[in-house]
Amino acid sequence: MTKSGEKKRIYLSSPHMSDEGYEKAFIEEAFATNWIAPLGPNVDAFEKELAEKVGVKAAVALSSGTAAIHLALKAVGVGEGDIVFCQDLTFAATANPIRYQGAIPVFIDSNHTWNMCPLALRKAFEKYEKLRRKPKAVIVVHLYGLSADLDPILEVCREYDVPLIEDAAESLGSYYKGKATGTIGDLGIYSFNGNKIITTSGGGMLVSNDEEKIAKARFWATQAREPFRHYEHKELGYNYRMSNVLAGIGRGQLKVLDERVKKKKYIFNYYKEHLSDLEGLEMMPIQDYDEPNYWLSCIVLSGKVKPIDVIEALEAENIESRPIWKPMHMQPYYKDCDFITLQAHGSVSEDIFTRGVCLPSDTKMTDGDLARVVEVIRGLWGWEYV
């Protein structure tokens, strides 16, 4: 109980700085050297350390994950009127940069993995081939830290010779067949927004084994300023770089990434152990190829208890939970866009959206906090389950 008599708030996923104070030490160093801005040693080191961690040749630290997706699209040549195939079940930040470039998103349904269905992707390629239109890029997402099934997706992309961008904003620390998500397609992006597995308060990273593309993105992100003493510009630029202070937070957070993944996995397994017996409740699907970071623990419901019942019952106990991302093809802003699904009626993405709930997955949660969540949820199934 807090002073006001309210029960302690349990969050979905809130910033969690290291117990060791790594982040503060890096920030203090930035202050001591007056390297508050612009770019500086923390930015360079954060890029290098993250690239090493995930096993990729080059990285550029940016102001957000959204900025990273924007520059990824630009790096593969997406421009006015181009088509981009984009995962339907995701947060709007995946799709919005397609519009920033004046391009046209076509949304692709998910399959049992919750991420892009390779067969629906193939169907999209075949449809647009008949229309004599070839997309400029494909964007796949690793939702809630679950890896998309990249091999068959890459196979289709390679067959049609179209680059694959991985939106790994939610999946830093997840591995697909032993390789870090974000490093397997042509370009990958991470987010360090406040609710992600590690945070810089706000920030992102664009990574690739194509060092030229990363150099180009770095150039665009720095106002596309040509290397002359006077201010010379041949291209449109952006102010998208990460500050040296925030990169210090990132360096500290990177040191505890493995610890955070371990705790997120513990949270998932706790829910699994204490909720799986409830009728009509399933945990989010983990595939054999996948070693997720378990960013959020999600469930799907198919019985009498609905997602809204869970969300409201938890809220009444001052516990935060959330619906699954509302699919892009259902968003008013994207209502005129094409959507490719294998389903005769509805879609897999819509089904997951209407039946899913994200449970609190905050790494600061204690076993007592987890027990509180479980108790509220079990209560909805009635006395015989308690």
Ligand X SMILES: *Cc1c(COP(=O)(O)O)cnc(C)c1O
Nearer to ligand X, 95 or 275 (CB): 95
Q: What's the token pair of residue 167?
A: 């939106």
Tokens representing residue 293 in the block: 């970071």
340 with 124: CB under 8 angstroms? yes
Strands of 58-100 (E only): list them: 58-62, 83-87
CA distance 370 to 341: 37
On whether the CB atoms of residues 133 and 353 are closer than 8 A, the answer is: no
Q: Are 70 and 101 in contact (CB under 8 A)?
A: yes
Q: Give helix then strand counts, H and E, for the chain.
A: 12, 15
Q: 188 vs 248, which CB is nearer to ligand X?
A: 188
- Told to check if 170 binds ligand X by CB under 6 A, we report yes
Among 204, 292, 307, 327, binds ligand X (CB under 6 A): 204
- 310 touches ligand X (CB under 6 A): no
- H or E segment at 175? strand 175-176
Among 124, 141, 172, 184, the residue binding ligand X under the rule CB under 6 A is: 141
Residue 329, token pair as written in the block: 């093809």
- Is residue 137 a contact partner of residue 165, using CB atoms and an 8 Å limit? yes
Sheet of strand 175-176: strand arrangement = 179-180, 175-176, 290-291
Q: Is 138 helix (H, G, I), strand (E, B) or coil?
A: strand
Write down the residue that tokens 């509180």 correspond to: 372
Closer residue to ligand X in complex, CB, 168/267: 168
| CB 248 to ligand X: min, Å | 18
The least CB distance from residue 43 to ligand X, in Å, is 16
Size of the site for ligand X (CB under 6 A): 14
Judged by CB, which is closer to ligand X: 64, or 111?
A: 64
**Amino acid occupying residue 155:** E
62 forms part of the interface with ligand X (CB under 6 A): no
Binder of ligand X out of 23, 47, 149, 167 (CB under 6 A): 167
Half-sphere exposure in the Cβ direction for 343 (13 Å, CA): 14
Give the Cα separation of 334 and 339 in Å (integer).
10
> What does the per-residue mask of binding to ligand X show for 179-198, with x meaning CB under 6 A?
------------x-x-----
Beta carbons within 10 angstroms of residue 150's beta carbon: 23
Residue 83 touching ligand X (CB under 6 A): no
Tokens matching residue 151: 């091999």
Least distance (Å) between residue 113 CB and ligand X: 15
User: Which of 13, 42, 64, 293 touches ligand X by CB under 6 A?
Assistant: 64
Residue whose CB is less far from ligand X, 91 or 125: 91
Q: Of 91-99, 127-135, 277-285, 304-312, which segment contacts ligand X by CB under 6 A?
A: 91-99
Among 35, 46, 85, 91, binds ligand X (CB under 6 A): 91
Confirm or reject binding of residue 65 to ligand X (CB under 6 A).
Answer: yes
Which one among 22, 50, 59, 66 touches ligand X, defined by CB under 6 A? Answer: 66
Q: Kindly tell me which residue out of 89, 93, 254, 319 binds ligand X, with binding defined by CB under 6 A.
A: 93
Whichever of 201 and 366 has its CB closer to ligand X, that residue is 201
Only segment of 58-66, 107-115, 337-345, 358-366 that touches ligand X (CB under 6 A): 58-66
The verdict on 169 binding ligand X (CB under 6 A) reads: yes
90 touches ligand X (CB under 6 A)? yes
Pairing label, strands 58-62, 204-208: antiparallel
Geometric angle at alpha carbon 222, from 220 and 225, rounded to 5°: 80
User: CB under 6 A: which stretch of 44-52, 61-69, 219-227, 337-345 binds ligand X?
Assistant: 61-69
Nearer Cβ to ligand X (246/370):
246
- Inter-helix orientation angle 257-275/367-379, to 10°: 30
State in angstroms the smallest separation of the CB of 170 from ligand X.
5
Closest residue by beta carbon to ligand X: 65
Please report, as ranges, the residues that interact with ligand X according to CB under 6 A: 64-66, 90-91, 93-94, 141, 167, 169-170, 191, 193, 204
